[in-house]
Structure 1
Amino acid sequence: MGSIETPPTSEVTIPIIDVSGFLAGDAKATASAALELRNACENQGFLQVIGHSVPVYTQKKFLAAITAFFALPLEEKEKLSQSNSPCYRGYERVGGQKLDELDSDATPDQKEGFSVRPERPLGKFLAGPNQWPEEAVLPGFREAYMEYFWAVHSLSKSMFQLIALSLSLDRTYFDAFAADPDGICLCRAHHYNPTPPDAAGRTRGVGAHTDFGALTLLLQDTVGGLEVLHKRMGTWHAVPPVEGAYVCNIGDLMQCWTNNRYRSTMHRVISPLSQTDRYSCAFFNDGALDMMIEALPGCVPEGEKPAYEPLRVEKHIVERSSMSRSHA
């Protein structure tokens, strides 16, 4: 295992934004939340969202369901292996991905996962059926997972509206992109094994990377381990867990869309020294496959050209997804 350099520091505070007023339609609170989000995306690129629309009981039921799934015997989980799915749904063994973009010698990511997308017929890229454990093996798992999926999907659409307002665009500017019925949405649950104090070193749960797409909403438990790279200082900083909150960050597509005004941020998960298993779930709303990403109004200074050529969402996601799997 490669060494984990640059221990995280606590000098940088990850903003915590309360979106309850925005979701309730309060004009003053909406303006304040949009400004806070703009400042976060132009500076650190990460924030935490509280006062959101996902019920606590939905989160807890979901976390209990994935805890039970990952506790199943390996042979039971492997029945749902992604290798059985033409659309990359289902169980992902430890080492199934390698996302580190800073260290070519890094080991594959030391986590296991379970991925779900909307149920679709096979056809378009990543469209298809999910894989599920039998009801007799894990009662209520599918119900809890999809209840959670659609609750966070709804929140993601609201967050796109707040992003639009933060860029002085019409609130509905991203609606067609974020709510496309054939869009690229992924809900991936993760499990990280404990790292005991006598371990040779902390493990690279997820290597340093930027997210591929447009918007990520991450639910993490209380164990910790998520770290972000401060752009100007070049130092790693912990993202302290806030119970029930969503860590929100933009990805490379939104960086292109905003012509580098909002930048995707390098982040990683380094398993802390702990006797406790860590669970998290990342929800990615990467939008409509056929969308052409071009610089947004107001994001190109007068007299300058956009930093990026027009980019089709599907082409970008295909290329980045293939890279993460080919190195695992």
Structure 2
Amino acid sequence: MGFTETPFQLPVIDIAPYLDPASSNSPEQTAVSKALHEACVRYGFFYLDISKYVDAGEPEELTRLGREFFFLPQSEKDKISISLQDNARGYQRLKENVTNGKSDNHEGIDIYKPVENPDKSKTLWGENQWPTVPAFREKYEQWIEKMRKLGMIVMEAMANGLGLNEDEWKELRSQVENSFWYMRVIGYPPLPNDYDGFSCGAHKDYGCLTLLYADPTRSALQVFVHESGHTDTGVNGLPNKQDGKEGVWINADPIPGCIVCNIGSMWEVWSNGLYKSTLHRVIHKGSNYRIPFFFEPNFDAIVEPLPAAIAQSGGVQVYKPVEYSNFLLSKIKYNFSLETM
């Protein structure tokens, strides 16, 4: 258990001590929280060992179901197109998602937290569209519930690592208890060598926590790590600097029993900049499937730096409060091709 690493390898953190209510405030939990804090300060990314939380066969079944859907004829997949709902919920064709102005070489299904009084004329406020593949919805809803609970567990562990007192944790918890989560099921065909873009272009996540079940394909997910004196060549126009610091792109290859986790922009605000949302990209040369779950703040949350974080960063509040709903909508509207606007 704890924080283990080799040069240019993301740390592996076992969340098991936080799964046992009897271990509350134990040295094991303290070690996990310390590891999370160090990982968020240095990388913004880490592996989370969840082998004691989910059976390995469960996400494998999810990818089988995803494969069954993505292998359907295009006309069948288009029956749940995002264009039939709110331009966010449902299926996106290959290259329909856009990052940095370029089409991403993947297709996907987007599922968001259900809302009251859905209205498909409003972005994000429609109804989810589920494939008719047998057991698809049942199995994925079970996964969503497990990831939603895991998100709360990780939030508490991170709050402890940041040194929040009981009242501060209570306030933070109130901002995520009704998480406006969303989940993607992503299908990647092999990326052509001459493709003008990426499987998913370089970007930072804009929410709270990303919990990614990655497929076995190696050298697909790449993360920018701050390391002075270790610069790459800015391949394909990608920067070898982030936030003014030199670094290198490293592979975040899958580890059995683990998911890959990273923080989004809202944790950058909560931490007053101690934690950074980290640049990452996907260059997928295989043909496989990934399932990221995004644990986000409540839709109406007002996110602002936490007192404990301000105290640790010189006593000066660097980040202004952010209304998450406005922030999310401003990001979403630039993330799809013009045909779906």
Scaled to the shorter chain, the TM-score interval is 0.7 to 0.9
Letter in 2 for 1:286: E
CA contact (8 A) 1:213 1:253 kept: yes
Matched ranges for 1:99-110 at <5 A? 99-100=99-100, 107-110=102-105
CA contact (8 A) 1:195 1:203 kept: no
Alignment partner of 1:269 is 2:282: yes
Alignment partner of 1:205 is 2:215: no
2:153 is aligned to 158
Alignment partner of 1:323 is 2:331: no
Structure 1 pair 293–118 and aligned structure 2 pair: CA distance change class (3 A): closer
- Once the two structures are TM-superposed, the CA of residue 233 in structure 1 deviates from its matched residue by 3.2
Distance (Å, rounded) in 1 between the aligned partners of 2:197 and 2:334: 22
2:3 is aligned to none
Structure 1 pair 158–299 and aligned structure 2 pair: CA distance change class (3 A): same
Distance (Å, rounded) in 2 between the aligned partners of 1:284 and 1:152: 9
Letter in 2 for 1:161: E
RMSD across aligned C-alpha pairs, in angstroms?
Answer: 2.3
Out of 154, 160, 175, which is 1:177 matched to?
Answer: 175
SS of the residue corresponding to residue 324 of structure 1 reads coil
Distance (Å, rounded) in 1 between the aligned partners of 2:8 and 2:216: 19
Distance (Å, rounded) in 2 between the aligned partners of 1:108 and 1:310: 32
**Can you list the C-alpha shifts for 1:187-244, whole angstroms capped at 9, x where unaligned?**
1011110247xx4469611100000111110110110300001134321110011123
Out of 6, 12, 15, which is 2:8 matched to?
Answer: 12
Structure 1 pair 246–88 and aligned structure 2 pair: CA distance change class (3 A): same
- Once the two structures are TM-superposed, the CA of residue 176 in structure 1 deviates from its matched residue by 2.2
TM-score by length of 2: 0.83
**Can you list the C-alpha shifts for 1:73-100, whole angstroms capped at 9, x where unaligned?**
1111011101111262110111122223
**Can you list the C-alpha shifts for 1:117-145, whole angstroms capped at 9, x where unaligned?**
233331586244211233xxx21111111
Moved more, 262-271 or 300-309: 300-309
Moved more, 18-27 or 218-227: 18-27
Structure 1 pair 201–317 and aligned structure 2 pair: CA distance change class (3 A): closer
- Once the two structures are TM-superposed, the CA of residue 68 in structure 1 deviates from its matched residue by 0.8
SS of the residue corresponding to residue 233 of structure 1 reads strand
CA contact (8 A) 1:211 1:264 kept: yes
State, as a whole percentage, how many aligned pairs show the same letter.
29
Distance (Å, rounded) in 2 between the aligned partners of 1:327 and 1:256: 30
2:262 is aligned to 249
2:20 is aligned to 24
Out of 223, 226, 250, which is 1:228 matched to?
Answer: 223
1:60 is aligned to 60
Distance (Å, rounded) in 2 between the aligned partners of 1:259 and 1:94: 37
TM-score by length of 1: 0.86
- Once the two structures are TM-superposed, the CA of residue 22 in structure 1 deviates from its matched residue by 2.1
Alignment partner of 1:214 is 2:205: no
Structure 1 pair 201–316 and aligned structure 2 pair: CA distance change class (3 A): closer
Gaps of 5+ in 2: 1-5, 227-244
CA contact (8 A) 1:59 1:244 kept: no
Letter in 2 for 1:211: D
